Structures are given as structure tokens and as C-alpha cells.
Amino acid sequence: MVDQLKIKSVLISVYSKEGISDLAKLLVSFNVKILSTGGTYSFLKNEGIPAVPIEEITSYPSILGGRVKTLHPKIFGGILWQRSELSDTEDVSRYEIPSIDMVIVDLYPFEKTVASTGDESEIIEKIDIGGISLIRAAAKNFRHVLVVPAAGLYGEVSDLLKSANGYTTLEQRKQFAARAFDVSSHYDTEIFRYFNRELKLPVFKQSYSDHVALRYGENPHQSGVFYGNLDDVFDQLHGKELSYNNLVDVEAAIQLIDEFNDPTVVIIKHTNPCGVASRPSLVEAWKDALACDPVSAFGGIISLNRPVDVESAKEINKLFFEIIIADEYENEALELLKSKKNRIILCRKPYTFAGRQFKSLLNGVIEQEKDLKVEEAEEFRHVTKKHPSPAEIPDLLFANRIVKHLKSNTIVLVRGRQLIGCGMGQTSRVDAMKQAILKAEVFGFDTRDAVMASDAFFPFADSVEIADKAGIRAVIQPGGSIRDEDSIQYCDEHNMSMVFTGIRHFKH
């Protein structure tokens, strides 16, 4: 097996012509013979770069509207030829198959086409056949062939060839082969996912080409990587690199703020909301969100659903926090928020998140639909003699939108569209209830006439009894316990209203 090989011939077949001219000229400077296809050949010819059209090799024209150009034994034989095998050498000689030492391909943009149109015929036409086959063949024969499977690698391969005067090593060819199979597997995965939108085959396939190495994982002794393109979701305007925990909290903040239409501020700490308020103005919403739990808000994540104005920025800037997320910032407000060197400022972009979520578990993956259900007042089932007042209904809806974003078991207390107390991650609903009331009392809130939301049903009447003694007058919960009647009866006897939604919101 020869470790170092001199490139003498290359096949170039690319969709995007950007950058290929410089690479082709470099290859010509090393006396490399260029074979090329259709549009690529025409482009190179116009650039004054000498190339041989593959029709001269195959004696076949491009047919079927250009869909069949390279699928020919003389092309694939030249790529797959094992130079060390005598029988291969004899076949190549007998059938006059040219040697191909390097293959450069840039595939049809299938993903971009899917993202830009719903026209199925146009999408299907962008499924590359010849290109993907060339990539796989060249990668398989990496011992003798260098494959460049995407335009993004032109710069790297150019540097490699310049440094070695047109030679490549076995290790280098193997590295590029691995990248080639990464490109081909990702391409095939995206095609499958397109077809499986309707078929819904019970198969789990995901592929992310973009990635960011994180400083560390959840803790400093754990490594971490984010796979995906964060630039699609937001622009980072200021601050240090986002960490693993930052990203987890950012997602929690975005998911919760998107529940609200009125001017709202959300403050997140360790994925749980410690402050939420909706008000006529952003600065009012900020002040009341912070009042929910100013201790936990320290070092938290702030998310807002209105442009950040100067007045709001002045108030927000008084607090030490790690990240702020908004759709827009006034110039003066942005400069004010940039006063802290490491503070992360994110500006959201319009982006539609996937409706499903997954995570690794045991020796596999679990996947589910996201909990996107939003209950409305028209869906309430009034189970008590007393019904919520017109003033209580908006608070019940507000509380119910928050409760599904806290770790179970959870209880949320709300008054005047302001979170005033919450208990989360408790092993019993009674403990969550007690924690929520204690939180409210610690920060000076009066729980009288507040409303309560629970993520799941009450197995006993003890939770509504505790709520009653704290002055809470209205309750929203899924219902569904075999002892629902106990809670209903207690509410009726103590002049409380309670509605069932029929929808549980566990979060683990």
C-alpha cells in the first residue's frame, strides 16, 4: 500500500461553482488533468481552465435532462480501481479506463430546496444521484483516491495540496473519506426525513452537520458539544461564549415567553421560572417579574417579548444577570446593557421550532411531541358550585401557562397576572403547595384572593385545604383522580371555585 500519492487526475462535478475556480487552477499548476461534467465543464472552460468533458471518456452524452452523466463504468472504474490489485489493473487496461485520483463534488442543495418551497417535483429533482455515488465510491477507495465532498472543504484541501506539492498521505485521504460519509449520510437522512413527514415510519433518524464545542458540559469535569446552528435562532450581540447550562436555560426562557402575547418578562433560573409578569408596559412587567423572587433572579436568564427600550434597560441593568433575550433592542438600551463585559445579549430571529423533542435514555432514545397544548377559558369544565370571577379567569389562564414549564410536582400561585409563588420538583403535591405559599410569603405577597394551578390532579383534598387556609379562592387543575369528588366537595364547602382542564402537564 502506497502512503503518499501524487494526484495526476481529478473529476470535478459541482452544483455551486463558488470557489471551484481557485481550486481547479491550483490543480492545473500541479499538472493535474481535469475531467468534468456538464455545467461544471462549461464554467471551467469560461474561466480559461483546461478540462476534458466526461463525454470524451464515456462516449455517451449527458441524458435524461442531465440526470445521467457520470454513471458509467469508465468513470466509476477509474475511481474504484485498486491500484495494488493485478486483476483490477488488467481490467483497467483492457477496457481503457482512465485513472481518477481525486473527486470533487458539491451536491444538489436538497435541504435548502425543502426549506424554500413546497413544490414536490422541484424537491425530488434536487435529490442528487450521480454526485452522491461519486462521493461514496471515492471515499470507499480512500487508499488510492482523495475525495472532497463539499464546497466548504475547498480551502482546507487547497492548503493541504500546497503544503505537499500535490501529494496526499493515506491518513489525509482517510480523514476526507470520513467527512465524505458524513456528508452522504446527512444528505440521505434529510431525504428520508422529508419522505417520512407523511409516512411516519417508526424510525429515529437525526443528523446535524453544524456543531459548537462548549467550554464544558453541565459541570466542568464533563465535556460538551452543541449540534446545530444557533445562528438560525438568534444573533449574539455581546458577551462571553454560551455554555451548556446557558443553552438549556435559554431554551426554557424562549419556550415560556412564547406562551404570552401581552408585554411580558420571564426570569429563569436552572430552567425554572422565578419571575413572570404581564403588564401594559415592558418596564412594569420587568419590575413585577423581578419582585416575584429577586434572590433567585440574581444571575438568571431574562426573556422579553417586546423591544427593549431605554427605560426598561436602565432598570434591568441594576441586576446582575447572565443572559438577556429579546426580539429587538433600542440602540441606547443596547449600549447600556453592554456595560458588563461578560453579559450575554441575544437578539432572536424568526424561527419555527420542531414540534417534537427527544433525548438519549438507557441504550436508546425517547421521542415525543412537545407539550404545546394551551387551554382556553372556553375549554374549562366548571366542577364547583362557584365559578371563577371575570377577574380570576385571566389569572387562571396565566398560571396554567406557567405551570407546564416547571418540574413536576409543581404548584403555581398567581395574582394580577404576576407569579407570586411556586413550588416545583417536589415528590408530593402537598410539599409543592407548601413551598409555593412559603415563597410568596417570604417576598411579601399576600396569597389571599390569588389563584392556584397544578400540573396534575390532586389525589386527595389536602392541597385545596392548604390553599383555602392561605386565602386562595380559585383553582385550575387537570382533574382525573378517582378522588376528585373529595377536592370538589371541599371547595364547595369553603366557597372556592375550581375548574378542570382535562390536560395534565407533567415535566420531568
Give the active site residues: 140, 270
Indicate the burial class of 80 (C-beta count within 10 angstroms; 0-12, 13-18, 19 or more): middle
CA distance 9 to 389: 81
Residues in the chain: 508
* Nine-digit cell string for 316: 434591568
Q: Could you give phi then psi for residue 462, rounded to 5 degrees? A: -65, -35
Side-chain half-sphere exposure of 429, counting CA atoms within 13 A:
21
Residue 251's CB is within 10 A of a number of other CB atoms, namely 16
Q: Identify any residues that bridge with 168 across adjacent strands, giving them in sequence order.
A: 5
Sign of torsion over alpha carbons 255, 259, 261, 264: negative
Nearest-CA neighbor of 347 among 366, 368, 333, 358?
Answer: 333
Side-chain half-sphere exposure of 487, counting CA atoms within 13 A:
27
CA distance 492 to 485: 10
Secondary structure element (H or E) that encloses residue 365, with its range: strand 364-369
Residue 454's CB is within 10 A of a number of other CB atoms, namely 29
Kind of pairing between the strands at 264-269 and 272-278: antiparallel
- Buried b / exposed e over 191-206, threshold 16 CB at 10 Å, is beebeeeeeeeeeeee
Cβ(45)–Cβ(51) below 8 Å: yes
Residue 363's CB is within 10 A of a number of other CB atoms, namely 5
Residue 42's CB is within 10 A of a number of other CB atoms, namely 14
CA distance 414 to 397: 10
Nearest-CA neighbor of 452 among 463, 443, 438?
Answer: 463
3-state secondary structure of 252: helix
Instruction: Identify residue 339 by its one-letter amino acid code.
Output: S
Residue 227's CB is within 10 A of a number of other CB atoms, namely 11
Cis peptide before 31 (omega within 30 of 0): no
Nearest-CA neighbor of 327 among 254, 417, 268?
Answer: 254
